[in-house]
Structure 1
Amino acid sequence: MLLLSPSSSHRSYQSTNDRHISKTEEISFKDDGDDDGFIDDDFAWTPEEEVQVLSILDKYLMMFILIMTFVLNMDRTNISNAMSDNLALDLNITNDDVNTSISVYHFVFTIFTLPSNAVSKAVGAHLWIPILMSSWAAVTWAHALIYDFRGFLTVRVLIAITEAGFIPACLGYMSSWYKTNELATRLAWFWGAQALASAVSGLISFGVFRMRGIYGLEGWKWLFIIDGIATHIVGLIAFFYLPASPAHTEGGLRGQDGWLTKRQIRIAILRITRDDAAKKDHDKPISRADVYQAITDINLWTHLLITFIGNMPALPINTYLPTIIKDVGFSTTTANLLTAPSHIIGLVFSILIARSSDKHGNIVFHALIGSIWGLIGFSLLEILPDSIGKWPLYAAALFTASSPSWHGMQIAWMASNISPIGKRTLALAAVIGAANINGVPGSQIYGVSDAPRYRHGNKINMLLHATTILLFLYQRTKYDLINKWRAYQWRQMTDFQKKVYNIEHEAQGNNRLDFKYRL
């Protein structure tokens, strides 16, 4: 299947983690007291066996994760479709009021994102994720009960609180099942499913908005009701479907025999810990040292800045795309229908680029494609005259909104360069927070006074893309120089000094001299 991309450099008999020069520590696993579940560092398997295990994980686990993130984004993006169905007019508010609610949503979302992975570790991601889904499902259909700005703002705050922990929990959950060089493609699918959800939401709204008046409800209220019910169904299934770990895939909706044999369980666990020794501590609680290391890591802050600035231009164009299309002369239903191709195009290119990144490396050079694409698109929107016809303007807006996402690749890149595991867990939550707090300024880029062409906003988006390109190149260059300096320092040490260093600096993670940053 498309998700399957095992490493061609797989070596089943030793560590594939090239970020550590030192020997990977011995790994062991105990399956609830079952002696057959014990695994030592001598266990070996063939590349064909790993391919089979990876295929099983993609088929049974990843596909359901994609379904869950699909319904998440159905709920997150329906606000843009609702705006084109006169949500503001029905609630007697302005588009600026909607922008304010979007800013509040992203601010609250970010606050509740930060502690999410700590809660997920305590509760278990396989339980925390369904709890979150059931919670925001109720808030989604509760949009049908609002009649003014106060009610609208209330449900937007509540949905931010309940949705905030989902993505960080999923990222931590996925990292315990997949290797470093497998994550970029799967994260591209993860965000690609969200793009597909946006497209489907536009298609669904085409028909749902015609339900306006049924039982006295507006069409956009019916959209929230339908999305909420769909999320409730998937969330309920998730309670009985998501496994806690590769050793516990039996039972519930997974079947009595589970997904994996005992040998495949060993392969599923050891291939992860041998790829990245830090993951053997995946279940360790977050410590104060982890928090301190995360806060003081300049490289992490650079990744957060890339996320904050680089993802910001997508918010205004995606939020206002149905409105922009409508304002050039298309009907409301047609405008929503015409947004669908942008999500499909973005999905296809995002996955193709991520797969190439997993295969060939050089994440930054692949990520730059999306930023350059967006820069060209906003430049087109800026230079096209006001007298341009509706179809050429639609084509320019479609091209801009179709910009492939590098978000998944950047997260995989960041995660591979952050250690130990507690610090990485905090980083995964922080990067999702950065991707959402940018909605506070991002929601103000396209203002009412700048409509309908939003020329001032387009100039801001062009500057943001240019800045992102420079930050990507800066971070890669910095990692490359640090790797060369560390390799030189390591070569100057005797074997005895290296052993002493390994003992004294065991907990320093990516600050160690023998940690090699992935480029």
Structure 2
Amino acid sequence: MSLVIARSRIIKNDPSEESSTLKTSDIEKKAVISVTQSPVQVGADDTAVDSNRRSWFRRSKACDPNAIATQPSVYDDPELAEEYRPRPDWEGIHRFDPAARWTWAEENKIVKKLDTRIIVWACVMITALELDRSNIQQANADNFLTDLHLNRDDYNLGNTLYRLCYLLSEIPTQIICKKIGADRWLPIQMISWSIVAVCQFWLTNRESFLICRALIGIMSGGFTPAIILYLSYFYKHHELSIRLGYWYAASSLADILAGFLAFGILHLGGRAGQAGWRWLFLIEGLITLTLGFLSFILLPPSPTQTAHWARGKQGWFTVKEETILVNRIIREDPSKGSMHNRQPLTAKLLWMSFKDYDLWPLYIIGVMFLTPWTTVSQYFTLQMKDFGFSTFNTILLAIPYNVLNIVTRILITYAGEMFGSLAWMGVLAQIWCLPLIIYMNAVDLSQTNKWIVWTVLTLFQGFPNTHALQAGWVSRNSNSVRTRAIAAAMYNMAVQLSAIIASNIYQNGDAPRYVIGNRVLLGIVSANIVLYLATKGYYMLRNHQRDRKWNAMTEDQRVDYIATTQDEGNQRMDFRFAH
């Protein structure tokens, strides 16, 4: 991604002036400002304008921890700084200081503190969501459908209702989130869906099952984009991609935890005359309800608003640390100062975000890329039961593919940053699935050794999921808080639409081999490979078009454009799309 930034060129009249330990005042006095177009090479944990400072996987020498970490930005140019100044009511404005300088040692220390305070709890929160929305799969292993007199088409309908309600609530909940703040809305969501999850203990028939699935969808809709927006307040773009990789991996870790919990809880079957799956819904719902209440006191609104009776009266950070947190974020992306964290989205802003056609290729990918995986995932426990595995063996056999999924998900997220290619990682993930889905079409699994079937399905389920990379991709290509908030919701809506499609590919009449369903999945995997390549080509074309216009302008015209343009977000001529 290329950005037009104000470069500071140090005049080297004296050799002593070349030291990386120059004082702030020295840098400012000897800076000659020019506007240039330069490719910004990025790593997972830095905006590596300085090629000497790169992440471990970019195969470079270790940097000097005492070197200046402050990256060049528009704020180094007095003529441009005022144009990009954050709004006066932005939550970090009192720590905004274009002259601030800090070292890599200081920045890395703060990022580690963010990881332990913010990311760890964010992973706990996604674990709570995954427990309550996916424990129905463990319930299936305990004759859940039989006890409620449901068939597999009813199960499909329940999953469809859940996803549809989740999808429809994405935008409304995102509006509420921006109005009252993610730090307040996320705990409210957790408590709401947990209450419904607990109520599943008293399910009696098809109607109560469908109502609860719909309510959980409504209450949890918008949770993922709200988390992504919240994390963007604390992290740079490329830090966010890696953290999202771990965050999404936590959902697979939750499935592993759910397997062990289910193995124990389902043994309660018969206590008080209740089936094991009822105890499963009750106990896991109470666990997530407790986590929801804890989230109220553990989530700060922003890096400069961490002071709280439960987090410490002085907050988590010193004044210097808050200054570093605010300025490292705003220097990388000035658009983050365009809205404060309690500012509502208007109908006009929503419409502007919706009609941003440059993000639609990513939404289309969101509809398509997970469909094959979701289809097989929802039926994994049912298929294991079909092939003769016992209830408790079925629960345990789901654990290996979740472990594999965690490993491959994190590896492909790092690979995307290491090789600087997002679209190619998506192609690679689909190529992983291709031979396995071909095998599922060519062989009659109902006549195959059950351990071979388990191996094939486990490898398929363990594919390198690019969800984290693509969520970061959407955030990166939004280039404004307004667009980022809605784009994250729209991308997640696309993913939920994918799940709705996936919930209706395997049909009761097609069991147990699912001949028609597997043919559909093969077609989708093949189409996905073409879709990723087409998306990469589209963004390369858009960047080339902007390069031609930008390079035809004089330097004075570029400065004037930056100062006077009405273009916003990714429509700015000085913005380049990541691909």
TM over 0.5: yes
When residues 16 and 48 of structure 1 are mapped into structure 2, their CA distance, relative to the original with a 3 A threshold, is: farther
Q: How far off is 1:129 after superposition?
A: 0.5
Q: Is the 2:444–2:513 Cα contact (8 Å) retained in structure 1?
A: no
Larger deviation: 139-148 or 213-222?
Answer: 213-222
What CA distance in whole angstroms lies between the structure 1 residues aligned with 2:475 and 2:495? Answer: 15
What CA distance in whole angstroms lies between the structure 1 residues aligned with 2:214 and 2:92? Answer: 46
Structure 1 residues without counterparts, runs of 5 or longer: none
Q: Is the 1:171–1:428 Cα contact (8 Å) retained in structure 2?
A: yes
Q: How far off is 1:250 after superposition?
A: 2.3
Equivalent AA in structure 1 for residue 380 of structure 2: L
1:515 match: 575
1:319 match: 378
What CA distance in whole angstroms lies between the structure 2 residues aligned with 1:8 and 1:359? Answer: 12
Q: How far off is 1:414 after superposition?
A: 1.6
Which residues of 2 match residues 66-145 of structure 1 at below 5 A? 66-145=123-202
TM-score by length of 1: 0.93
What CA distance in whole angstroms lies between the structure 1 residues aligned with 2:129 and 2:336? Answer: 27
Give the alignment partner of residue 420 of structure 2, picking from 340, 356, 361: 361
Equivalent AA in structure 2 for residue 349 of structure 1: T
Q: How big is the alpha-carbon RMSD for the aligned residues of Structure 1 and Structure 2?
A: 2.3
What CA distance in whole angstroms lies between the structure 2 residues aligned with 1:160 and 1:64? Answer: 22
Q: How far off is 1:345 after superposition?
A: 0.4
When residues 369 and 339 of structure 1 are mapped into structure 2, their CA distance, relative to the original with a 3 A threshold, is: same
Q: How far off is 1:7 after superposition?
A: 4.6
2:58 match: none
SS of corresponding position for 1:464: helix
The answer to whether the aligner puts 1:187 opposite 2:240 as a matched pair is no
The answer to whether the aligner puts 1:339 opposite 2:398 as a matched pair is yes
The answer to whether the aligner puts 1:348 opposite 2:348 as a matched pair is no
2:4 match: none
When residues 34 and 350 of structure 1 are mapped into structure 2, their CA distance, relative to the original with a 3 A threshold, is: closer
Which residues of 2 match residues 238-253 of structure 1 at below 5 A? 238-253=295-310
Which residues of 2 match residues 499-510 of structure 1 at below 5 A? 499-510=559-570
Q: How far off is 1:30 after superposition?
A: 8.1
SS of corresponding position for 1:44: coil
Equivalent AA in structure 1 for residue 433 of structure 2: G
What CA distance in whole angstroms lies between the structure 1 residues aligned with 2:154 and 2:400? Answer: 29
Q: Is the 1:136–1:159 Cα contact (8 Å) retained in structure 2?
A: yes
Q: How far off is 1:191 after superposition?
A: 1.1
Q: Indicate the structure with greater helix content.
A: 1
Q: How far off is 1:359 after superposition?
A: 3.3
What CA distance in whole angstroms lies between the structure 1 residues aligned with 2:170 and 2:502? Answer: 18
What CA distance in whole angstroms lies between the structure 2 residues aligned with 1:198 and 1:68? Answer: 13
The answer to whether the aligner puts 1:291 opposite 2:355 as a matched pair is no
The answer to whether the aligner puts 1:448 opposite 2:505 as a matched pair is no
Q: How far off is 1:159 after superposition?
A: 0.7
Q: How far off is 1:75 after superposition?
A: 0.9
Equivalent AA in structure 1 for residue 476 of structure 2: S
Q: How far off is 1:389 after superposition?
A: 0.8
When residues 6 and 496 of structure 1 are mapped into structure 2, their CA distance, relative to the original with a 3 A threshold, is: closer
When residues 247 and 95 of structure 1 are mapped into structure 2, their CA distance, relative to the original with a 3 A threshold, is: same
The answer to whether the aligner puts 1:464 opposite 2:521 as a matched pair is no
The answer to whether the aligner puts 1:310 opposite 2:369 as a matched pair is yes
Which residues of 2 match residues 28-43 of structure 1 at below 5 A? 37-43=94-100
Question: Max radius of gyration: which structure?
Answer: 2
Q: Is the 2:91–2:304 Cα contact (8 Å) retained in structure 1?
A: no
Q: Is the 1:117–1:172 Cα contact (8 Å) retained in structure 2?
A: no
When residues 140 and 182 of structure 1 are mapped into structure 2, their CA distance, relative to the original with a 3 A threshold, is: same
What CA distance in whole angstroms lies between the structure 2 residues aligned with 1:15 and 1:23? Answer: 13
Larger deviation: 316-325 or 385-394?
Answer: 385-394
Q: How many residues align?
A: 512
What CA distance in whole angstroms lies between the structure 1 residues aligned with 2:324 and 2:89? Answer: 13
Q: How far off is 1:286 after superposition?
A: 2.4
Q: Is the 1:29–1:40 Cα contact (8 Å) retained in structure 2?
A: no
When residues 28 and 286 of structure 1 are mapped into structure 2, their CA distance, relative to the original with a 3 A threshold, is: closer
1:146 match: 203
Identity %: 29
When residues 120 and 93 of structure 1 are mapped into structure 2, their CA distance, relative to the original with a 3 A threshold, is: same
